[in-house]
Structure 1
């Protein structure tokens, strides 16, 4: 069940199961969601429409077959129609969803993080604030068309954690997602999953496109963005990720994203 006002008959957020927006008129529909009244994690689901997720406050982590994504400030997560995925949100999350009908815009055919310009963000919020339409409103149709044209121009950002269904890689991913402070070396992980270090090194690059060191740093970055947006302090996140000092964590974060954690997340603290 989907409601433009964000109301639901139970504690499951909208789109926690298969969704059908076919009754919505036009090529797109936007809605705002405050997750204080919903469970923190949605069941795996899919819908025929593509979905762009914007975070007004807090954070959402999306898991699909090919990776794990965090929705950071100034970006949106694009999930193509028909792709099974699940979302985990922080209790303070306030999100905007944009659903796009198949074929309505030229958008990626895989999950990805897209930059979202201030103008595009405001257009999506404007659409979410409009009352439900009966169709045929020329102004709304023009707004949707320009909005979708702008969305198709947005550049991609590399803020996902690539994952694999290979049993050795999946085992390591599950362990580190559950305990990101685990500092075992590649050789120690190879012994743990019963392969040679050389074989595991090759598998990591082959299945994820990253070396083990770069993959673990990307995992830390994804977790850090989620926890910081959820209200955790920089000091706590640094400790939870196993860094020897807060400074070491800030250095890693700044090298990856070009700015400090506090400055990067300042854009997420919107009313």
Structure 2
């Protein structure tokens, strides 16, 4: 039996309210949410498991204390882990001074709790009353949240997209820049320049950022560190932990413990 897409059960644009929230359990839906677009802006919060989104030639992930913000009118797709439980917050254009481009936003425990509470109201609560007042406060608070850059640029260039798609499918692929250059029929120096121009990163930095995106998604879903290291092609768990700590300032266990407690060690080096 084919599992229905998460977006097949409701249309957020039907509600004229400034903000509406929905709760989704992906044990009941297909993990892949196909590309779609809606008028309202969307904030995606992972309560359990993990979600990655593609929008405007970038991949975005929301760690435990962040949400992925997608402005209205931006085509996007998403993929979740099988155990993911998400809250979606849809925001009417102009209802709050939120970013005009995709980004990750830090999310306070209060905002997370308010979105959860609003999700219990559905999409047809009275425009005046407790839920409406809570929605207004929620939007005011959300507009104050700082941005974080948990994203991977993937570019619209067909050759960069080919490499990105291949490595996203198999992040353990350890082909060198020269090997990829031969694969896409370019010189190594030309591919290096193209990668830097299109993504702002060298090939080595770009691939490491991809590994961090995948690692954060899998670790957030509960996958063991040993399994994540193997999935990414590291020869040892220690080598993976060393990479993770260099980029994010702490080991995976320390990183997720700090995020659950609402603290951050330092700004990430790569993300």
Give the TM-score of the pair, scaled to structure 1. Answer: 0.89
Compared CA separation, residues 268 and 230, structure 1 to 2 (3 A) = farther
Compared CA separation, residues 212 and 22, structure 1 to 2 (3 A) = closer
Give the Cα–Cα distance (whole angstroms) in 1 for the partners of residues 18 and 7 of structure 2.
Answer: 18
1:116 positional shift: 0.6
Q: What secondary structure, in the 3-state scheme, does the structure 2 residue paired with 1:44 have?
A: strand
Q: Are 1:258 and 2:249 counterparts?
A: yes
1:83 positional shift: 1.1
Name the residue aligned to 1:37: 28
Whether the 8 Å contact between 2:6 and 2:26 is mirrored in structure 1 is no
Compared CA separation, residues 99 and 228, structure 1 to 2 (3 A) = same
1:23 positional shift: 3.9
Q: Are 1:208 and 2:199 counterparts?
A: yes
Compared CA separation, residues 142 and 244, structure 1 to 2 (3 A) = same
1:43 positional shift: 1.5
Compared CA separation, residues 205 and 48, structure 1 to 2 (3 A) = same
Q: What secondary structure, in the 3-state scheme, does the structure 2 residue paired with 1:91 have?
A: coil
**Which of 189, 192, 206 is 1:198 aligned to?**
189
Whether the 8 Å contact between 2:16 and 2:92 is mirrored in structure 1 is no
Q: What 5-or-longer segments of structure 2 have no aligned partner?
A: 262-271
Whether the 8 Å contact between 2:13 and 2:39 is mirrored in structure 1 is no
Give the Cα–Cα distance (whole angstroms) in 1 for the partners of residues 176 and 189 of structure 2.
Answer: 13
Deviations 1:26-63 (A, max 9, x none): 20001111111111111211111111000010011111
Q: What 5-or-longer segments of structure 1 have no aligned partner?
A: 1-9
Whether the 8 Å contact between 1:58 and 1:268 is mirrored in structure 2 is no
Name the residue aligned to 2:62: 71
1:230 positional shift: 2.4
Q: Are 1:153 and 2:109 counterparts?
A: no
Give the Cα–Cα distance (whole angstroms) in 2 for the partners of residues 167 and 102 of structure 1.
Answer: 32
Name the residue aligned to 1:6: none
Name the residue aligned to 2:172: 181
Name the residue aligned to 1:105: 96
Give the Cα–Cα distance (whole angstroms) in 2 for the partners of residues 223 and 55 of structure 1.
Answer: 15
- Count how many residue pairs are aligned between Structure 1 and Structure 2: 259
Give the Cα–Cα distance (whole angstroms) in 2 for the partners of residues 98 and 258 of structure 1.
Answer: 31
1:258 positional shift: 2.3
Give the TM-score of the pair, scaled to structure 2. Answer: 0.89
Give the Cα–Cα distance (whole angstroms) in 1 for the partners of residues 203 and 178 of structure 2.
Answer: 10
Give the Cα–Cα distance (whole angstroms) in 1 for the partners of residues 97 and 22 of structure 2.
Answer: 21
Moved over 4 A (4+): 131-134, 266-269
1:174 positional shift: 1.3
Q: CA RMSD in A?
A: 2.0
1:65 positional shift: 3.1
Deviations 1:89-140 (A, max 9, x none): 1111011110001111111122111111112111211212336654233322
